[in-house]
Structure 1
């Protein structure tokens, strides 16, 4: 019986730690500022992200992050989609969240759409030059089993 209780306790705290670690990833990604730079193509100044040292240290590394799928083409399985720290109705595109709360995802296998929070693992890439992409990209992403 003690073994069972200990196993349950360790499973719960391990899951809690993983969820906290993934949530803290969004907190780290929020440590970004912006500066105005003139864009030749657009003909006016645009906000360009300035990544903190902590964020730059994450670039090119494998990270785990929890969030919500924002479908770009219907509600099906996707290899490419937008991922948000917040549910669809509160995300950058529909709610009041900032651009640091979303990222473009390219998955190795299709990820089935869900309105529930999921966790992904992939390689983080930073974008401060292509205005046609989000500032965070997660490549070679895969769904982390619960």
Structure 2
């Protein structure tokens, strides 16, 4: 029960931090260029890009649970078409709660101001691994494959979730 409460608390904290996004860029945030991927073993799945995930709108609605207005995502047609599909995406691993196996994949490294105004809820995906997980460290760059689930209503979860997730190794030059 403590682990579930801790996980929900962390998700709520992430949502609160992202709900009132700063529109100006953080002076300390540097968005690194992605390394070239030479070989990737995720051919069976569809590539999911961070650019596509950024193409999202929000609708402000009242939420009785938190007794406040909340920004709910409105997903575009391309994202809706990927709902329930196996996809792969490369990003930076952020182990939120290792004991509870709660991991987030981010478009940006944590060390480069993940929580500043330059990043929003569209820049992170909850990773729900299939079976045992490898040991991940903050900012490990990985390619993850899983079934995409779009979350438009549950404020205790992030907008994007990869279920039955697995890691794929890749090489960079």
* TM-score of the pair, normalised by structure 2: 0.65
Once the two structures are superposed, what CA deviation does each residue of 1:92-128 show, in whole Å capped at 9, x if it has no partner? 4356301001011111230321433110100000001
Unaligned runs of 5+ in 1: 1-11
- Give a deviation string over 1:1-27, Cα, whole Å, max 9, x none: xxxxxxxxxxx88538x8xx85x6111
Runs of 4+ with deviation above 6 angstroms: none
Give the number of the structure whose alpha-carbon radius of gyration is greater.
1
Within 5 Å, give how 1:63-78 maps onto structure 2: 63-73=87-97
What does residue range 1-146 of structure 1 map to in structure 2 within 5 Å? Answer: 15=39, 22=47, 25-73=49-97, 79-90=101-112, 92-93=114-115, 96-108=118-130, 109-114=132-137, 115-146=139-170
Gap regions ≥5 residues in structure 2: 1-35
Question: Whose helix fraction is larger, Structure 1's or Structure 2's?
Answer: 1
Highest RCO, 1 vs 2 (Cα 8 Å, sep ≥ 6) = 2
In structure 2, the CA distance between the partners of 1:97 and 1:49, relative to structure 1 (3 Å rule), is: same
How big is the shift at 1:53?
Answer: 0.4
Q: How many residues align?
A: 129
Shift in CA distance, 32/13, structure 1 to aligned 2, threshold 3 Å: closer
Please tell me the root mean square deviation across aligned C-alpha atoms, in Å: 2.6
